[in-house]
A and B are shown apart, each in its own frame.
Chain A
Amino acid sequence: MTDDATWPTEAVDYVQAIADTKLLLGQRYGEWMLKAPNLEDDISGASNAQDEIGQVRQLFRLLQQQGREESWLESDRAPDEYANAATLDEAAETWPAFVVQSALTDRAAWLLLDAIDHEDFTGMVQKMGQDEYFHLEHHDARLETLARDQAEDVEAALERYFPDILAFVGPATYGSGDDPLVGAGFTDRSVAEIRGAFHEHYVELFAGTDVSVPPLREDVPDPDAWDETRRRVGEGHVAPDVVDQLQGVSNREFLIQ
């Protein structure tokens, strides 16, 4: 485990992407928490949103220690400065698509966080893992029933979101000998290993159902086109009105200084 007070630049970007993804996850959970199929899903969505925002607070605190300005993190950013997973750029239109979107994204964010091996995260990641257990169990339990009842919808959503979530995890070329964060000692599991574990989880989850998991393509994302800072390919971003909500623009006059 490393304990260097100053993280490598790539590590700051890595944690920023996890934090921004959790910020958007909180937003998407919040959007669905009053329109899920039943009250129990509403309650779980509200709890998940609360957990994610709480985790963002902790990660933003660490990012400030690494020189990121509080005002930039919280309220002074353009949409294309958010490094969230591209899976969350747009709200899902249907319940099966939302479950797939949030399941893939929440699990990928957790695997990236869990791979961090730095003193600053000791204890914090374990606490976050206690929250995440219930998020990921909820998703998997929901996916099991949806795979039984709406297999085509689940498979279509997997095909839609898989390229973007693989881009968030990172390129296949980041093996144990080539992953800069493993080389710097900031993480103890390479992007290539995380990709494999992520894919295998869903292959096992959907085994025996009518849902096929997209293959783990080595050329997705294209390593030459991959943006290391925003962990995606392309210039896409979340919509400005969503950023206004994240930044509390409409209620800024009530901000407690």
Chain B
Amino acid sequence: MKYHVFTRDNAGDDLIHAGMVTADSDRLARIYAHRTYDEEDWEFMGIVREDNLIEVNEQPIAGGETR
């Protein structure tokens, strides 16, 4: 599974997309993310499974025939 890694320098900052890791479990992905992207003293680091990302795009209008 692929995971996106997000970090921020200080509380209140926007999250930064630091990169990605591939792992067989959430538990393993936490460790990989820490080991791979811990070069700075992050205030926060989190991971999100790629499957859980919801694409934001245009959708057909309900009941209509065109977009």
Q: Which residues of A contact B (CB under 8 A)?
A: 38, 40, 43-44, 47, 134, 137-138, 140-142, 144-145
Contacts and interface: CB of A to CB of B under 8 A. Distances in A.
Contacts of A38: 22
B28 interface: yes
A198 to B, nearest CB: 20
Nearest to B27: A141
B30 A137 contact: yes
B1 to A, nearest CB: 11
Interface stretch (B8-16, B32-40, B50-58): B32-40
A44 B25 contact: no
Nearest to B21: A40
B4 to A, nearest CB: 14
Contacts of A40: 21-23, 32, 35-36
A15 B32 CA distance: 31
B28 A145 contact: yes
A47 B31 CA distance: 11
B31 A138 contact: yes
Give the 7 A-B residue pairs with the shortest CB-CB distance, closest first.
A40-B32, A141-B28, A141-B27, A145-B24, A138-B31, A44-B35, A43-B35
Nearest to B34: A134
A138 B36 CA distance: 13
A47 B32 CA distance: 11
Contacts of A138: 28, 31, 35
Contacts of B24: 145
B21 A140 contact: no
Given A40-B21, A145-B25, 9 more contacts: A38-B22, A40-B35, A43-B36, A44-B32, A47-B35, A138-B28, A141-B27, A142-B28, A144-B27
B31 A141 contact: yes
B28 A134 contact: no
A142 B30 CA distance: 12
A141 B28 CA distance: 5
A137 B27 contact: yes
Contacts of A44: 31-32, 35
A51 to B, nearest CB: 11
A40 B34 CA distance: 10
A140 B27 contact: yes
A153 B36 CA distance: 28
A137 B23 CA distance: 14
Nearest to B36: A43
A137 B31 contact: yes
